[in-house]
Structure 1
Amino acid sequence: MDIGIDGRVDTGGAANVGAVQNDTLRSARFRLEREAHWRQLDELVTRAEKGGTAALGYDEVRNLAAGYRQAMNSLSVARDISLDRALIAYLESLCARAYLVVYAPQESLGGLTARLLLQGIPQAVRRSALPLFIGFLALILGAAAGYKLCQNDPSWFYTFVPPELADQRTPDASADYLRSTIYGDEGHDSDRLAAFSAFLFSHNTTIVILIFTLGIFVSVPSFILTFYNGLILGAFFAMFARRGLGYDVFAWLSIHGVTELAAIAIACAGGARLGLAVLLPGARTRKEALRHQAHDAVKLAILAALMLIVAAIIEGFLRQLIQDPFWRIVIGWGMGVFWMSWLLLAGRGSKTSREAAR
């Protein structure tokens, strides 16, 4: 009880002090009754964070789940009776950590990568028949148009092919020079070949990124860019064919081009999935359709990136080391069989596949 300066008794201050003391005692009693369980849960969570739940025994996993439920109940009570903020903050942190240990996927990076390669990407490809048809159609139509135009009029080559990509391989070049660029039998230095391979990889990576990201605009830019890459391909093939080197350039393109060109078409398919979600959302809103299609579209983009890396390795090494056109064709189309076998057969009949089909 406090006495004010005017002589009156200040009962409010005494009541406040009493309430604070009562809350402090209640908080201390609450902590004392349950703190042992919290410490046990904290220890189990810490061990699981370091080594995963596999590091815990059966009884410890059961205690972890039970401790998480008890901690959630304690947090709810602490909030209702307005215990001290430090205790509430501790319980919130403990419950959040325990939630991640109990409910978050307990899978290593290696496991996630294996699941992506063995299930996620192949299943996404098989669900993308129409977008893949669009991507490969754009590439094939472009190649056919580029070949036809340059066969009839070689000057079209300069319209379709950038000078830095042509690298002196033009319709004006002699057959001997063009042959030397295929087989490297004229002493082309390795530094120049390595620089050109790096340029091609950079160029194709940029194209793939553009094709994929621009697909959201109703797929049209993706289709046009893929068609344009087909024009370049057709123009190159026509130029060599006019010099009697059709088989040779087919082999030269096959060893890395089967993988590289497929990557471009697959990137177009990923962009087409985004574009079709905007153009034909179905029963969903466009935002929901875009979010739904993005899961498979991103997997197609990852596949395209992986294929570009493989193509770059083949282009930088095998294409220079293997000069026989027969073996170039075998390696290139053998890689094509490998990609098709993986993408068509992997991940069939799994639970993930059945759930995605619903």
Structure 2
Amino acid sequence: MREGLFIKKNKARWEKIGAGLSTDADEIAKDFVQLVDDLSYAKTYYPTSRVTKYINGLASKIYLGIYQNRKEESNRLLRFWKYDVPLTVYKHGRIILFSFFVFFLFYTVGFFTAKHDPTFVRDVFGNDYVDKTEHNIASGNPFGIYQQGDSFFMWIAIMINNIIVSFKYFGEGLLLGIFSLKALAQESMRVGVFNYMFFDKGMGAKFVLAVMIHGLLELTAIVMSCGAGAVMGTSYLFPGTRSRLDAFKEGVKDGVKIVIGLVPVLMLAAFYEGFVTRYYTMPLLPNLLILASSAAFIIFYFVVYPILLKRKERSVHA
């Protein structure tokens, strides 16, 4: 085929590819294959022609585009936890802060209700659980309940359960976040009552040192999961210039980001509960280091880091 005819036959298609109008992956792949065929033909019959260099340039452009997209895909997971989750937490900081207020409020209610009504502990946990805990306390192993079973299987079971519970609490927020916050209030009260069981026996400090090894991360994740439910459930109340449906879709998306972002936190909390809490009689220093590192992570990742990211984002757009 003469070069002129070859150009005339394919010019329109090349120009369309060069304009980059197609965004469909299958169509881009098809264009790339055809360009490779064209380039192979041109190199065979017109090796020194400008049309060969032109086709090579088009093929290279598509190839680089595909490579860059793949690179972006591989970094998407890292970007999710590095940027998406912290910025979403910052965006809904007031609701999440309110969730922590609900937690501390009902934790206090549970603690002082148990203090003034001795039967309340058994109403909450049942006689069997309370009797077993009191037996452990009397035998000098107050947190022996965390030493049951195999560490690995305990970790897996707790991790799966807590992840399911966090998504459940999130899903309950569909109606204005009411049921998410109700679940949070119930869980908070149980924690307050549980704490009082040991405080009443003079083991308040031991409770913190033992249970909070895993509880600090676990409770933070549960509180924020309920907060994510409230984010979803209140999203359509004040839609602004958007439709309520669009506002709700965005609320669901943001809530899901928060809950998924908490999965590694729940995994680590379950690991601590399965493998570390059972050794709560460890020396004080490693115990404090675990608590301090967990607290530092929570404060940095969910409070300080989102603020720094937002400030950086504002400075870029200023």
Which residues of 2 match residues 215-294 of structure 1 at below 5 A? 215-294=173-252
Contact kept in structure 2, 1:274 and 1:293, CA below 8 Å: yes
Partner of 1:345: 305
Q: Does 1:175 align with 2:137?
A: yes
Deviations 1:294-329 (A, max 9, x none): 332122111222211110111111222452373324
Partner of 1:42: 33
What 5-or-longer segments of structure 1 have no aligned partner? 1-28, 47-57, 69-97
Q: Give the CA deviation at 1:253.
A: 1.7
Separation (CA, whole Å) in 2 of partners of 1:208 and 1:234: 19
Partner of 2:89: 125
Q: Give the CA deviation at 1:347.
A: 8.6
Partner of 1:92: none
Q: Does 1:136 align with 2:127?
A: no
Q: Give the CA deviation at 1:212.
A: 0.5
Separation (CA, whole Å) in 2 of partners of 1:101 and 1:159: 63
Q: Give the CA deviation at 1:338.
A: 1.6
Separation (CA, whole Å) in 2 of partners of 1:293 and 1:335: 28
Contact kept in structure 1, 2:180 and 2:230, CA below 8 Å: yes
Q: Larger helix proportion, structure 1 or 2?
A: 2
Q: 1:279 aligns to what SS in structure 2?
A: coil
TM-score (norm 2): 0.73
**Number of residue equivalences:** 282
Separation (CA, whole Å) in 2 of partners of 1:182 and 1:253: 8
Structure with higher RCO (Cα < 8 A, 6+ apart): 2
Q: Give the CA deviation at 1:290.
A: 1.1
Contact kept in structure 2, 1:260 and 1:308, CA below 8 Å: yes
Q: Give the CA deviation at 1:32.
A: 8.6
Q: Does 1:63 align with 2:58?
A: yes
Deviations 1:59-87 (A, max 9, x none): 88841488x8xxxxxxxxxxxxxxxxxxx
Q: Give the CA deviation at 1:220.
A: 0.5
Deviations 1:25-48 (A, max 9, x none): xxxx999912996987326689xx
Which residues of 2 match residues 293-312 of structure 1 at below 5 A? 293-312=251-270
Deviations 1:162-184 (A, max 9, x none): 679x48545x546324x414268
Q: Aligned partner of 2:32: which letter? A: L
Separation (CA, whole Å) in 1 of partners of 2:315 and 2:69: 17
Deviations 1:109-160 (A, max 9, x none): 4411111121111111111211211221222122111111111123212332
Deviations 1:183-214 (A, max 9, x none): 689xx5543x6666555444433321121111
Is the alpha carbon distance of 1:294 and 1:189 closer, same or farther for their aligned partners in structure 2, counting shifts above 3 Å?
A: closer
Q: 1:324 aligns to what SS in structure 2?
A: coil
Separation (CA, whole Å) in 1 of partners of 2:235 and 2:74: 32
Q: 2:240 aligns to what SS in structure 1?
A: coil
Equivalent of 1:336 in 295, 301, 310 = 295
Contact kept in structure 2, 1:259 and 1:332, CA below 8 Å: no
Q: What is the percent sequence identity of the aligned residues? A: 20
Is the alpha carbon distance of 1:154 and 1:198 closer, same or farther for their aligned partners in structure 2, counting shifts above 3 Å?
A: farther
Partner of 1:160: 124
Contact kept in structure 2, 1:347 and 1:353, CA below 8 Å: no
Separation (CA, whole Å) in 2 of partners of 1:255 and 1:138: 22
Is the alpha carbon distance of 1:244 and 1:196 closer, same or farther for their aligned partners in structure 2, counting shifts above 3 Å?
A: farther
Q: 1:278 aligns to what SS in structure 2?
A: coil
Is the alpha carbon distance of 1:283 and 1:321 closer, same or farther for their aligned partners in structure 2, counting shifts above 3 Å?
A: same
Coordinate RMSD, CA, aligned: 4.0
Contact kept in structure 2, 1:255 and 1:328, CA below 8 Å: yes
